[in-house]
Amino acid sequence: GDFSSVFRALNIVRAMETHLMSYHKTLKGMSGDLSTRINELSASVDLVAMKGLHDCLDDVKNRPDKENMSRDGTVHELTSRTILFLDRCLGYGSVIGNMFLRLAPSPKISLGLSPTRRAMGSYVYRVVAALQANLGQKALTYEAETLRDVFLLNNMHFINKVLASGETLKEFLILEKPNSVNEMHADEKQRMQSYQRCFKKLQHFVRDDDDTFNTGELSKVESAAIKEKFKGFNSELEELVKAQRSYTISDPDLRTKIRQMNVDLVVPLYHRLHRKYVDVSFSKNPFKYIKYQVSDVERMLASFFDSSA
């Protein structure tokens, strides 16, 4: 939904907070009804703004899973919009915090240090937690497990980068849960490890536990095993390249990092396999199986996340 209406209500709350004392001073000695009405007006404005904030939280938590899902796993519109919403909320930090203390006081918060900031921190934390839960549900709409990982990596990295770029949002999160920011970085790291599982099959073909080099004549079984390694590797690499060129890693630094990680995972193993068998007579036409030079494999892995490659 549109979050702008809540800020209109917060502007009125802020104006009421600013001028309430002067209203009461001006009305001192006059009819008590007028003061009561002003208090009632202030309370009703609080309720409207509070409902707006809760509606925004519900929107972040419950926005339908399949809405606006891109095919390439890029940062979801809900993520950028929610972070922008929270960034705007920071400009109303004391207004929101005071309002929560008036309408929904928590003994834990009210009796602690900086109750206004802690009340605001509680709201910020709930919004971020709701966003993370919704993104987890949205990821499940992708059939390909690797695309789920790409989607969550994009969104997690976007959130973590925003937190790193400014102290205020991070400070509010830490007020509610001291380890929250570290946990979010750990979640991104864990998601990166999950993404790496897409190379498990490829690594299976190139991993060779036998370091001995057979320079003599090979048996049919040995020749067939070597052919199978290269055939399997070539096929799996081509499938990965086809799929992952259609995926997007939005952040340039993250994209570079993942591409290099992919190269480091695969190229040393392939280089070892290539060096071991490139001069071995396992076929009348060995280059039917050794289709790719080491530099070709590195170039192909570097083409991930680039639909124009």
**Which residue has 């095993």 as its token pair?**
225
Say if residue 62's pLDDT is above 80.
Answer: yes
* pLDDT above 90: residue 152: yes
* Dihedral over Cα of 64, 93, 106, 50: its sign: negative
Q: Comparing C-alpha atoms, which of 274, 244, 61, 284 is closest to residue 153? A: 244
Give the C-alpha separation, 168 to 174, whole Å. Answer: 10
Query: Residue 91 above 60 pLDDT?
Result: yes
Other C-beta atoms within 10 Å of 98: how many?
19
Question: Dihedral sign, CA of 196, 255, 156, 74?
Answer: negative
Least confident range of 58-72, 87-101, 291-305: 58-72
Tokens 């080491």 sit on residue: 294
Instruction: Please name the helix (run of DSSP H) or strand (run of DSSP E) that holds residue 26, with its range, or none.
Output: helix 4-26
User: Can you tell me the distance from the alpha carbon of 172 to that of 180, in angstroms, rounded to the nearest whole number?
Assistant: 10
Work out the average pLDDT over 37-53. Answer: 85
Indicate the pLDDT class of residue 307, thresholds 50, 70 and 90. Answer: confident
Instruction: Give the distance, in angstroms, between the CA of residue 251 and the centroid of all CA atoms in the same chain.
Output: 11
**Residue 28: count of CB within 10 angstroms of its CB:** 8
Q: Is 223 left (phi over 0), alpha (psi -120 to 50) or beta?
A: alpha
Output the pLDDT for position 28.
61
Please tell me the distance from the alpha carbon of residue 123 to that of residue 86, in angstroms, as a whole number: 10
* Lowest-confidence region among 63-67, 242-246, 254-258: 63-67
| Tens digits of residue pLDDT in 123-132 | 999 999 999 9
Q: Give 21-30 pLDDT, tens digit per residue.
A: 666 566 565 5
Task: Compute how many other C-beta atoms are within 10 angstroms of the C-beta atom of residue 153.
Answer: 22
Percent residues over pLDDT 70 in the chain: 87
Rounded to a whole number of angstroms, the distance between the first and last alpha carbons of the chain is: 37
